[in-house]
Amino acid sequence: MTKEIVKLLSDFIGSSATTIDSFLKALYYFAFYIEQQFRDININWNDVYKVIYEYAIIILAIVFIKKMIQTYFLWKSGEDDVSPVHVLLGLFEAITVMLCFGYFYTFFVQIGGNIYESISKAMVGRGDFSINDLAKWCNSGIFSAIVCLILVIEFLVIIWQLIRRGIELLILRLIIPFTAIGLLSSNGGSFAIVIKKFLQNICTIILQLLLITLAMVLASKNHLIYAIAVCLICNQTPQFLQEFILSAQGFGAGKKVNRAIDTVHDGLGAIATWKSMKSGKIQNK
């Protein structure tokens, strides 16, 4: 009975080797460019991005004109106490994000990929690991078979999590041009919230990839218990990263520029008031 169970588990793990190994060898770019896995459904993603950017720019122009007219000409709504320069800076920031975000993302992913590959190469043994090794180790007994099965399940869960985060990144990349319209507001609108979620996903993916690479190295050296422990840590979303990610109170660079403009504006107003008071006193004398 025990031999039959071991053989069943060994066959199950061996049958999943091809699929899991193919995912484990290209997890980094798989997570950051999940749309490349959808080539079979004949979606031209370049055309999709082009349509999104075109409509985002049109909507940005409409919102900007409407905001300027209603706030500074009709005095109906908006932040009338905020200088028009703030809105112009927000427009410049929004256009920059819309046009340059794709290039920034590609550049960032390439740098992260080089760092990930360098660290992975330093972890000797990663390239020697295969799920077929676990299938062979199952024959050592029922305990080894159960441990190998747990490790395979952990790998599958991590792969599913990376697929989910890759799809989330794809959605965020698609809506970034529309959320950039929120930069016309002094608080950054929804752009700050989306960027925070975006950075959290990126940091989580990189950390999970490094942990699963460490788990593969441990598994290649037959340290299965330690590999399972690392996978368990990898499965838990690193909540502590949220303390180091951009806060949701607005886009930092824009707020600093706006604060500097406010200071200069207030200073010029105080100087003008002082000059008018001084000239009034001279005329009275």
Residues of the domain holding 281:
251-285
**171 plus 285 within the same structural domain:** no
Q: Are residues 167 and 264 in the same domain?
A: no
Residue 95 has a pLDDT of 87
Amino acid at 217: V
What pLDDT does 249 receive? 41
Written as six digits, the tokens of 168 are 């989330």
Half-sphere exposure of 82 (CA within 13 A, CB side): 21
Whether 185 and 264 share a structural domain: no
Looking at the structure, tell me whether residues 167 and 278 fall in a common domain.
no
Residues of the chain short of pLDDT 50, as ranges, are 246-261, 263-265, 267-268, 271, 281-285
Q: Per residue in 216-228, pLDDT tens?
A: 888 878 888 888 8
What local confidence, expressed as pLDDT, does residue 76 receive? 63
- pTM strictly above 0.75: no
Q: What is the pLDDT of residue 253?
A: 42
For residues 255 and 245, membership in a common domain is answered with no
Identify whether residues 53 and 124 lie together within a single domain: yes
Which residues touch 186 (CB under 8 Å, ≥6 apart)?
Answer: 79, 82, 86, 90, 250, 258
User: Are 184 and 263 in a shared domain?
Assistant: no
Domain count, the chain: 2
Per-residue pLDDT at 242: 57
Residue 104: predicted pLDDT = 84
User: Is residue 35 domain-shared with residue 24, that is, in the same domain?
Assistant: yes
Q: What pLDDT score does 79 carry?
A: 57
pLDDT value of residue 246: 43
Pair (182, 267) in one structural domain: no
Residue 138 shares a structural domain with residue 214 = yes
Could you tell me if 174 and 88 are in contact, meaning their C-beta atoms sit under 8 angstroms apart? no
According to the model, what pLDDT value does residue 241 have?
Answer: 61
Q: Based on the domain organization, do 190 and 255 belong to the same domain?
A: no
Residues 280 and 168 grouped into a single domain: no
